[in-house]
Amino acid sequence: MKLLLQFPEGLKQFALKHARKLESEGHEVYISATPNFGACDLAIDEAKALGADKLMHFGHAEFSKVDFPVEYLFYPIDAPLEIIESAIKALGKYNTIGLVTTVQHIHQLEQVKGEFEKLGKTVLIGKPYGFAKHQGQILGCDIGSSATLDRKVDCHVYFGGGLFHPLGALYNTTKPFFAIDPFINKFLFLDGYREEHKKRERGKIMRSIEAKRFGILVSTKNGQTNLNLAKVLKRKIELYGCEAAILVANTFDFDYLNNLMEFDAFVNTACPRLTTDDNERLRKPLLSANNVMELLAMREGPKIAQKSQN
């Protein structure tokens, strides 16, 4: 069987090992070297170009249906649990906890929950409502397991490495948010990031208040394409007498977007994290759909509607 293997960035270091194993079983094996941002970003085009029989995608659960055979290989990681007891004690007055993690640690979630309960905490594990497949699981773009619990808990706690996943949940919840990072042995209070995010969002809208030309980003990645939303936003923007064009790419590079100098602002319909993460390199504001609707509401009103009244 001809196979294409795909790994997220953190697992690419293990690619050769898996390729060699599959080759020893008689398969013809190729490794995707393109950047991978999740199960929303499957290397389908590469697999078809190779004439592969199957894409083997490591490290993520199924995100959406695609028109190509894909095997998802769960990649569990056992995180050390030593820091949990001291982290729980530091929570103090917060008694009802909403607990979340990533797919790599879902198998440890009940054990972590048990550690909280030993010290008298009540732990709730939420249900995802979007692309995530497991209770208590969050993705960079699906924070349902946190959001569904926001009214029921005193605080949220993320268990796992890094800040990418918990920050997505933080921006879309209101209760205090903590992170237990067992790999660096740290317990972090994240609410300051929420305030910074609110200020940045407001700042982008105000920087776009006089914008006349908008570039609307549409991704061709299998789980990020949102052409219908882009068309709706284009019509709404044009209703206010502005120009809008739909910009299509598989991966949006901010340095390349900077070459599109005619645009006053960009609008994101691709991965929602493009709007919130690491876009300081983009010279023009990058707005979400919600940002655009708020921006238009601040203007005098649809110019077409005004003309019809004259």
| pLDDT tens digits along 203-238 | 999 999 999 999 999 999 998 999 999 999 999 999
Percent of the chain with pLDDT over 70: 96
User: How is the chain split into domains, by residue range?
Assistant: 2-73, 84-189, 201-305
Quote the tokens at residue 6. 């795909």
CA distance 214 to 247: 10
More confident residue, 281 or 254: 254
Q: Is the CA virtual torsion 94, 77, 81, 119 positive or negative?
A: positive
User: What CATH number matches the domain at 84-189, 3.20.20.450, 3.50.50.60, 3.40.50.11850, 3.40.50.12160?
Assistant: 3.40.50.11850
Predicted confidence at residue 305, as pLDDT, reads 45
Cβ neighbors of 62 (< 8 A, separation 6 or more) are 39, 70, 72, 133
Q: Is the CA virtual torsion 271, 276, 280, 286 positive or negative?
A: positive
Predicted confidence at residue 150, as pLDDT, reads 96
Q: Is 39 helix (H, G, I), strand (E, B) or coil?
A: coil
Predicted confidence at residue 307, as pLDDT, reads 46
192 has a pLDDT exceeding 50: yes
128 has a pLDDT exceeding 90: no
User: Where does residue 296 rank: exposed (0-12), middle (13-18), buried (19+ CB within 10 A)?
Assistant: middle
309 has a pLDDT exceeding 60: no
Predicted confidence at residue 277, as pLDDT, reads 82
Average pLDDT value for the chain: 92
Domain 201-305 falls in which CATH fold?
Rossmann fold (3.40.50)
Q: How much is the average pLDDT of 169-175? A: 95
132 has a pLDDT exceeding 90: no
Q: Greatest CA separation found in the chain?
A: 77
CA distance 247 to 257: 10
| Rg of the chain over all Cα atoms, to the nearest angstrom | 22
- Domain pair 2-73 / 84-189, same fold: yes
CA distance 28 to 35: 22
Predicted confidence at residue 302, as pLDDT, reads 63
More confident residue, 279 or 3: 3
CA distance 16 to 48: 21
DSSP 119: T
The one-letter code for the residue type at 64 is S
Q: How much is the average pLDDT of 36-65? A: 93
193 has a pLDDT exceeding 70: yes
Predicted confidence at residue 173, as pLDDT, reads 96
CA distance 186 to 63: 30
More confident residue, 115 or 277: 115
**CATH code, residues 2-73:** 3.40.50.11840
213-219 vs 243-249, strand pairing mode: parallel
Q: How much is the average pLDDT of 176-195? A: 96
How many CB atoms sit inside 10 A of residue 74's CB?
12
Asked if 242 and 214 count as a contact pair (C-beta separation under 8 A), the reply is yes
| pLDDT tens digits along 176-185 | 999 999 999 9
Q: Is 289 helix (H, G, I), strand (E, B) or coil?
A: helix
**pTM here?**
0.86
Quote the tokens at residue 19. 């390729």
CA distance 60 to 101: 13
Beta strands in 151-212 (DSSP E): 155-159, 177-181, 186-189
How many CB atoms sit inside 10 A of residue 15's CB?
17
Cβ neighbors of 122 (< 8 A, separation 6 or more) are 95, 96, 97
Predicted confidence at residue 62, as pLDDT, reads 86
